[in-house]
Amino acid sequence: MASAVERAARVPVTTVWRVPPEHDPAAAPSLRDLDAAFRRAMVETQVLLGEPVQVVEERRGWSRVHTPWQPSRKAAAGYPGWVASCDLAAPHPAGSHCAVVTSRRSELSGVRTDRRAPFAPWAAVLPVLGIRADVVRVGLPGGDSASIGAATCVVRAAPHPRSSPLRAAELVRTASTMLGVPHVLGGMTEAGLDCSGLVHLACRVLGRTVPRDAEDIAEAGRRIPAAEAAEGDLLFFRRPGAAIHHVGIAVDRPGEMLNTPGGGVTVVEALDHGRLRTLAATATRVASQPLGDLAAG
C-alpha cells in the first residue's frame, strides 16, 4: 500500500466491481439495470461523492482501489475492488469542518467546471468552504466547489467519520430516512441499497465507521443475546451452518425492525415466523441508551 495514490469519487455514486467489467468505464450501467445474478457475481459496493479511495493499480480505464471508509475482512485497507478511473479525481483539501448530507440527496448548484456531480447523495461528506444562512459552500474532488442547501446537511468538525457515540433512537431515526427505497444488492443510494448498506450509511451520517457487510458489522459492537435486543440494536440472520447474510435494526416496538429485505423496499416490519427461524442468537449493540425490549417470539 506504500505506492497507493489517494483519490475520491467525483460523481454522486460509483460502483466498486469485483473484477474490471468488459463494458466501457465511461458508460457503466446502473445497478438497477443489471441482472440480479450478475450483480451478485460482480458487484462489491458503491462509493459516494467525496469518499476517499486508495488507488493501487490502473488498467484500461479501471482503477483497483481500497475504500478506507468501508472496513472489510476482505482487506485491511478497506473494501477492495475496481472503479471506473473517470469517476475519480484528486480529493479536495480537507478543512476544519465538513458537511454531511442528511437528506436523501442534496442538489448541487454553482458548480463551475466539473458538472458530473449534479447532486450529493445521503451520507456524502464534503469539506466546508463557507456558510451562509441557508447555503453551505462545499469543496468537490478535482478542485471545484458547489453550494448545497443548509437544510439538507449538518456541519460537523473534521475529520468525519470517526468514533462518534451513537444514541439508539437517533440511529433508527437516521436510517428511517431511506424508508421506501428499494433493495439493490451492493447499492448505497436512494436508487437502491442493501441491508448492510443501510446500517453502514446511517452510522456514517452520525459519525461512526462500521464495516460494509453484515457479517463484519456483527463484530463491530458489543454482542448481546438477541432476546435482550432493544431499540437501535442490530439483529442478524443466518441459516443453519451458514454465515450471517442479513441485518436489520430493532425499533422501539417489540418484535419489529427497520429492514431492507431482498426483493422489497426499506420498511419497518414484524419479525414473522420466517425471520425468527433464521434470527441469530446474538445481536450487536453499537448505540448507547437503547429503549424498550424486543420480544422475539
Of the candidate CATH numbers 1.10.1740.10, 3.40.50.150, 2.30.30.40, 3.10.105.10, the domain formed by 5-89 belongs to: 2.30.30.40
**pTM confidence score:** 0.94
Q: Quote the CA–CA distance of 31 and 150 in Å, as a whole number.
A: 30
How confident is residue 291, by pLDDT bands cut at 50, 70 and 90?
very low
Q: Quote the CA–CA distance of 233 and 287 in Å, as a whole number.
A: 7
In CATH terms, is domain 97-157 a member of 3.40.140.10?
Answer: no
* Torsion of the alpha carbons at 140, 47, 62 and 24, rounded to the nearest 10: -90
* CATH code at 168-285: 3.90.1720.10
Mind listing the pLDDT tens digit for each residue in 104-152?
999 999 998 777 889 999 999 999 999 998 999 999 999 999 999 999 9
For a pLDDT cut of 90, what percent of the chain falls above it?
83
Q: What average pLDDT score do residues 274-297 get?
A: 74
Domain residue ranges of the chain, discontinuous segments joined by +: 5-89, 97-157, 168-285
Instruction: Determine phi and psi for 175, rounding to 5 degrees.
Output: -65, -30
CA angle 15–16–18, rounded 5-degree value: 135
Q: What average pLDDT score do residues 55-80 get?
A: 96
Q: Do domains 5-89 and 97-157 have the same CATH topology?
A: yes
Cβ atoms of residues 222 and 285 within 8 Å: yes
Q: Quote the CA–CA distance of 294 and 289 in Å, as a whole number.
A: 14
Output the DSSP codes for 83-106. EEGGGEEPPPPP-SEEEEE-SSEE
Residues linked to residue 291 through DSSP beta bridges, in sequence order:
none
Mind listing the pLDDT tens digit for each residue in 62-74?
999 999 999 999 9
Instruction: Determine phi and psi for 49, rounding to 5 degrees.
Output: -50, 125
Is the pLDDT at 190 greater than 80? The verdict is yes
What does the block give as the cell for 188? 448505497
